[in-house]
Amino acid sequence: MSTWRLECGACGEEATRHKATVCAHCHKPLLARYDLASLDGAALKKAWSTRRGSMWRFREIMPVESDEDPITLGEGETPLLAIQVEGDAADLELLVKDEGQNPTGSFKDRGLGAAVTRAALEGATEFVAPSAGNAGAALAAYAARAGLPARLFIPEDTPDGVARRCEHYGATITRVDGLIDECGRLSAEYAEQTGAFNLSTLKEPYRIEGKKTMMLEIVEALDWEPPDAIVYPTGGGTGLIGSWKTLEELRELGLITRSTRMYSVQGTGCAPIVRAWERGTDHAEKWEDAETEAWGLRVPGALGDFLILDALRQSGGGAVAVPDAAMREGAARLGSAGIGASIEGGATLAGAGALRRSGALKAGERVVLFNTAHLLTY
Amino acid sequence: MSTWRLECGACGEEATRHKATVCAHCHKPLLARYDLASLDGAALKKAWSTRRGSMWRFREIMPVESDEDPITLGEGETPLLAIQVEGDAADLELLVKDEGQNPTGSFKDRGLGAAVTRAALEGATEFVAPSAGNAGAALAAYAARAGLPARLFIPEDTPDGVARRCEHYGATITRVDGLIDECGRLSAEYAEQTGAFNLSTLKEPYRIEGKKTMMLEIVEALDWEPPDAIVYPTGGGTGLIGSWKTLEELRELGLITRSTRMYSVQGTGCAPIVRAWERGTDHAEKWEDAETEAWGLRVPGALGDFLILDALRQSGGGAVAVPDAAMREGAARLGSAGIGASIEGGATLAGAGALRRSGALKAGERVVLFNTAHLLTY
């Protein structure tokens, strides 16, 4: 069984579940809250260990009721690979969560799998979102799996390959003479005009719920001992927010006691979270003239900025910016360990090195890096 | 525990295990034979169900001894996705084994994961192989994971993306002014001159052992009821040979009773197995002027031709050729079901349609298709 309510991540106001978007009061992201006190943690742990096939094996703390079927492409169950590297991170115990092994080649499958599942169950008949990359392909694939149409607004300068991937899954593409925020505006407008459901990042509560399964898998793979730290390549930050939420839920279920420090890594050319972290503010100002090769990190203003900063602070973590050249070098190092790393994945290794240099990460600590997308998606 | 001997798939002669290649007597592929009578099938089934993380959870019937560690990138554990399509295959119960969700994006990871594991355990210090596609990337990745160098001979006209993928994993590429058979000749020569281990298809016994885990996963996912039929896109045919071998082993272990009909699908522009099947011969003549967009099916002469034809015959299956246009249409249909299908994957849907039309597949039968590589690898 699974049942939950929604509350605003900022003001705490309750929201109704039906086709939920953002807080009606303050327009901030909503979070799903499960009745964890009614669940038996030990029984869950056992049940989860016997299931196979997708992220939905954690369904008791995911947004489906017990009689509902999720829409799945077998997302999740990605490996956690131990690696050894030379350089600054050499004396860390490094593990890479290889999210490139998801259905469309990135971690976006978890978030959009959950969001599409819930929206379809709530009666959505069409989906819309802005995208310049992997989120578009993931949305297209899950919409197809749901048997529902998807429309994507993508910036004119998006590589042809990205559009072709989305079209393979049957999505309708509208190329926009503008940046991703203009695509976001058009998506919202389209949703309003047509009744299509808008799946923009954090404009609905369930992408977080899908992304949080990454951390569930990590903690389970480590025999319910959370790692010392994670280094997360932070664009919209849904996965980081989800990871922290997972740890809180597992603590409440009595399945873990210790916690994990969360570190954000961003590019030096687009580091709004790092700047806010360093200034000690609760919110991140929009980054002007964002510039980095890592598409997934080119997010000048994240709607969940305050949730990201809160997770970094509460967990005792931090944030660090690395230049594109260091990301590329990181990706090459991961490649030499056999991992099909995207530049975002490379950023986490570069970030781990920088955090080790600064002393934030200590020798011998167990640190999880996220290869959020496959090399092939570039 | 796991222990096995090697015997020739053609003449049955025993071969020594150390750095085994092909039969010393007749130069045909070797097959691994496990002491299945000493294994408890029911206990294995239970043990397999509790393990997680890679294809090596079936290790008792794979080429590692109980005290040996396999080299893994988390390959396998790919989903089996039910789909519904319109057209000729509409009244079949179709399931797609989505092999695009492997570490380097194709089923080659299973074969090369097993081959590299065994060769590294036997003391190989360098690997070499010819490739024009996914096998190269898989070998490069597993060699990297083993910490050993890999050299690939690839045809001059291979797309740049393929070479870049292999280089990401640190492989050394030699571009050859010639076709894949010339690359094969150069690989053999290089192996002889340097002592590098040659991992060409079926030039060693263990790629089959990796590939066979696809069928193990399928049968397990279907609660130990083998499907009525599989439609397999046949290039070198290692996966088809491995699938049949798996069924034989599971029968011997008492885990299954019924069997599965095996069907090969090839392109009309390169269909040596289909031609041999139709002529009723034991071996397939080399196909001249092979031409198909599906790289994975552009194999004019397979070393394991006699094993493929034997599996088709023994299983009561068959072979069918489909044109490239039908493969492309098949891939698009799979895309509309949310699957990131390569053209080879599309070929299996096209093949299922053709086999249904001919009456070889019957209404209501449960048929497994193989999406052997991700759309992204193209």
A112 contacts on B by Cβ (under 8 Å): none
DSSP type of residue A78: -
Nearest to A168 among B52, B79, B375 (CB): B375
Nearest to B338 among A53, A141, A331 (CB): A141
A116 contacts on B by Cβ (under 8 Å): none
pLDDT given at position A157:
87
pLDDT digits (tens, 9 = 90+) for A195-238: 999 999 889 999 999 999 999 999 999 999 999 999 999 999 99
Residue A2 has which token pair?
A: 């699974």
Residue A273 clears pLDDT 60, i.e. is over it: yes
Query: Which of B76, B100, B356 lies closest to B218, judged by CA?
Result: B76
pLDDT digits (tens, 9 = 90+) for A136-194: 999 999 999 999 999 999 999 888 899 999 999 999 999 999 888 899 999 999 999 99
Residue B2 clears pLDDT 80, i.e. is over it: no
Band of pLDDT at residue A132, cut at 50, 70 and 90: confident
- Say whether A105 and B105 touch across the interface (CB within 8 A): yes
Q: Which chain B residue has its CA at the smallest distance from A330's CA?
A: B168
Q: Considering the entire predicted model, what is its pTM?
A: 0.97
pLDDT given at position B1:
56
Q: Which amino acid is at B135?
A: A
Strand partners, B7: B14, B31
- Measure in Å the smallest separation between the Cα of B146 and chain A Cα atoms: 8
Strand partners, A374: A341
Q: Which chain B residue has its CA at the smallest distance from A79's CA?
A: B74
Same fold, A80-106+208-377 and A108-198: yes
Average pLDDT, integer, range B174-202: 94
A145 in contact with chain B, both atoms CB, cutoff 8 A: yes
Other residues' Cβ atoms within 10 Å of the Cβ of residue A7:
17
Query: Long-range pairs for A329-334 at CB < 8 Å and ≥24 separation?
Result: A331/A375, A331/B168, A332/B168, A333/A85, A333/A86, A333/A87, A334/A83, A334/A96, A334/A371
CA angle at residue B109 from B105 to B111, to 5 degrees? 145
B144 in contact with chain A, both atoms CB, cutoff 8 A: yes
CA–CA separation, B8 and B6 (whole Å): 7
Q: Chain B 40-59, CB below 8 Å of chain A: which residues?
A: 49-50, 52-54
A102 in contact with chain B, both atoms CB, cutoff 8 A: yes
CATH code assigned to B80-106+208-377: 3.40.50.1100
What residues contact residue B185 under an 8 Å CB cut-off, 6+ apart? none
Q: Which chain A residue has its CA at the smallest distance from B49's CA?
A: A50
What residue segments make up the domains of chain A, in order of their start? 4-61, 80-106+208-377, 108-198
B141 in contact with chain A, both atoms CB, cutoff 8 A: yes
pLDDT given at position B226:
98
Nearest to B374 among A49, A98, A105 (CB): A105
Other residues' Cβ atoms within 10 Å of the Cβ of residue A225:
13
CA angle at residue A120 from A44 to A104, to 5 degrees? 75
- Of the two residues B157 and B57, the one the predictor is more confident about is B57
Q: Half-sphere exposure of residue A26, counting CA atoms within 13 Å on the CB side? A: 13
- Say whether A101 and B101 touch across the interface (CB within 8 A): yes
- Measure in Å the smallest separation between the Cα of A345 and chain B Cα atoms: 13
Q: Half-sphere exposure of residue A250, counting CA atoms within 13 Å on the CB side? A: 26
Band of pLDDT at residue A1, cut at 50, 70 and 90: low
Q: Which amino acid is at B344?
A: E
Average pLDDT, integer, range B29-55: 96
B374 contacts on A by Cβ (under 8 Å): 105, 376
Provide the greatest CA pair distance for chain A. Answer: 55
CA–CA separation, B227 and B23 (whole Å): 33
A325 in contact with chain B, both atoms CB, cutoff 8 A: no
Phi-psi region of A364 (alpha: psi -120 to 50; beta: other; left: phi over 0): left
Average pLDDT, integer, range A121-148: 96
CATH 3.40.50.1100 fits A108-198, yes or no: yes
Q: Token match 């039906």: residue?
A: A18
A80 contacts on B by Cβ (under 8 Å): 74
Q: Which chain B residue has its CA at the smallest distance from A75's CA?
A: B79
CA–CA separation, B178 and B129 (whole Å): 15
CA–CA separation, B164 and B104 (whole Å): 13
Q: Chain B 228-287, CB below 8 Å of chain A: which residues?
A: none
Residue A88 clears pLDDT 90, i.e. is over it: yes
pLDDT digits (tens, 9 = 90+) for A139-153: 999 999 999 999 999
pLDDT given at position A181:
85
Determine what percent of chain B is predicted with pLDDT higher than 90: 95
B341 contacts on A by Cβ (under 8 Å): 168
pLDDT given at position A68:
97
Residue A111 has which token pair?
A: 């978030």
